[in-house]
Amino acid sequence: MKMETLKTAGIELPRFGLGTWYLGENARKEIDELEALRTGIEMGVTLFDTAEMYGNGGAERLLGKAIKPYDRSKLQIVSKVYPHNAGRNQIFKSCENSLRRLNTEYLDVYLLHWRGSVPFSETVECMEELKAQGKIRAWGVSNLDTDDMEELESVKNGKNCALNQVLYHLGSRGIEYDLLPWTQRRKMPVMTYCPLAQGGRLRRGLLSSSSVKKTAEKYGASPIQILLAFVLYQENTIAIPRSGSACHVKELVDSLRISLTQEDMVLLSKDFPAPTRKTYLDIV
């Protein structure tokens, strides 16, 4: 299946990829997790998101194994650096460690995982050096709200930020109030993690809602597929759901056939309305 793409900071990224949060943490699950990631590649998925934080590098190692049989030049790999490693003293070592675990020579995008005590100016300067060295093709941020993004934009080369990765799904629409419009005006993609919501009560409520069920019936789809289609309805979004199951990956990729209408969005918004005021970012 051909993936729709977005251009940003000199690179091109698919609007759908696979995340690796919580993967690579249990050796007994490795075979299934490798199969899930490789199933995605066989179905046309080329974008993968990971981080040095995930499983203390375990997710990066797993992803490195998964992509080894494939042409690296046709894949887009995103990883993230801890805030406390995002300064000159540590970021170059952190990047090298991620590259080693992934068994690759470069990252397509390197993200600041969340804001810490290191000044944006220092992190951006180092990110630009990593670009010049060929270690990364582009850089971005994660979990930054609108005021943070405005501050980032004000520092030297801050406008080179390729994307902002934040939590977003039908049950957590806070970014629609100001952050999403801010990025859309700049044609900066928002990469959405947990687009299917976390497990537990909230996810159960989403999957069992009458509006989600009715929309799923309309498209001959599962509620999970409607949650993913909701995220991709928004302009300039990239969805990176996580899955350790090949069967689930197939379901996710199949959801890309669904294009929700404005009428669908009105129905979904009855149960899960868009924000009418500023709310702070959800993190998990």
Looking only at the bridges linking them, the beta strands covering 107-112 and 76-81 are parallel
Q: Where are the domains of the chain?
A: 12-198+235-256
Average pLDDT in the chain: 96
Selected catalytic residue, list 22, 54, 106, 219: 54
Is the distance from CB of 196 to CB of 257 less than 8 angstroms? no
Question: Tell me: the pLDDT tens digits for 141-151?
Answer: 999 999 999 99
Whole-prediction pTM: 0.97
Residue 204 confidence class, pLDDT cut points 50, 70, 90: confident
Q: Which residues contact 244 (CB under 8 A, 6 or more apart)?
A: 22, 23, 29, 32, 33, 36
Domain 12-198+235-256 has CATH 3.40.50.300: no
Residue 205 confidence class, pLDDT cut points 50, 70, 90: confident
Q: How far apart are CA 163 and CA 127, in angstroms?
A: 14
Give the model's pLDDT for residue 200.
58
Question: Tell me: the pLDDT tens digits for 53-84?
Answer: 999 999 999 999 999 999 999 999 999 999 99
Q: Is the pLDDT of residue 49 over 90?
A: yes
- Catalytic-residue membership of 54: yes
Give the model's pLDDT for residue 163.
98
Question: Tell me: the pLDDT tens digits for 80-120?
Answer: 999 999 999 999 999 999 999 999 999 999 999 999 999 99
- At 186, the amino acid letter reads R
Is the distance from CB of 215 to CB of 268 less than 8 angstroms? yes
